[in-house]
Amino acid sequence: MSDPEPSEGVDPVGTARVALVTGGSGGIGRATAVALGQHGHRVAVGYRRDRESAEKAAAEIDGMAVELDVTEPDSVDAAFSGVEEALGPVEILVNNAGITADGLILRMSDDQWRDVLSTNLDGAFHATRRASATMLRRRFGRIVNVGSVVGSTGAAGQANYAAAKAGLIGLTRSVARELASRGVTCNLVAPGPISTAMTDALTEKQLGELVGIVPVGRMGTAEEVARVIAFLCSDAASYVTGAVVPVDGGASMGH
């Protein structure tokens, strides 16, 4: 028996608010935008290149698509200003924008390292800095960073990606400590192997190896991650901050 869908326009665990999801055009970002919209939040779907997919996601939940390059502070500021003008002050921020540029450390170029850190870690910093002033004034805010189990475990061929995701844990907990007294929480969700467009390109052998490390014996879905993010963005999660929440089928137990 499937779980009932939330009633249209009503957040079953709190007040409807304005949310911005970076990297919202596909995968976990898109699923998160849809989940937040189903909870009644007014959602801005951030995108860097795939405008069409972002607009489709936004249309599904009566939200808006907004162009946003998280590596550029001016782009972040312009995007926030556009959302504020159209929907109101941003009270929920999901930092999901991310890229990969895999390679063994001996062959990894400076650009591979720099591009991944710039998007996956610097981008979350830029967006969080822009959002936090408004959240502090309103004495309410929900910030959720999308990390990865490799931020704790490491991964061969992903030194740049793992370093960025590990950095997100430090960023998350520092922000949580700084903003907690003003009603702003900051948490991190750490997905394990999730079925997305990136994993679609893997071979059967590679997929088998991924599933092999997951105790539940399967890949996760973007929607399963999104449901956890939606909870952390809710009023019901007001006493949860600085947490690293694995959504990985048990893959990271012990880390």
Strand locations in 9-110 (E): 18-21, 42-47, 64-67, 92-95
Give residues with Cβ within 8 angstroms of 221, minimum separation 6: 31, 194, 195
234 by Cβ neighbours in 10 Å (0-12 / 13-18 / 19+) ranks as: buried
Strand locations in the chain (E): 18-21, 42-47, 64-67, 92-95, 141-146, 184-191, 194-195, 220-221, 244-247
Structure tokens at 155: 């991964």
Cα 171 from Cα 123, distance rounded (Å): 11
Contact 129, 93 (CB under 8 A): no
Give Rg (Cα) of the chain: 17
Q: Cα 111 to chain center, whole Å? A: 23
- For the annotated catalytic residues, the residue numbers are 161
Contact 220, 249 (CB under 8 A): yes
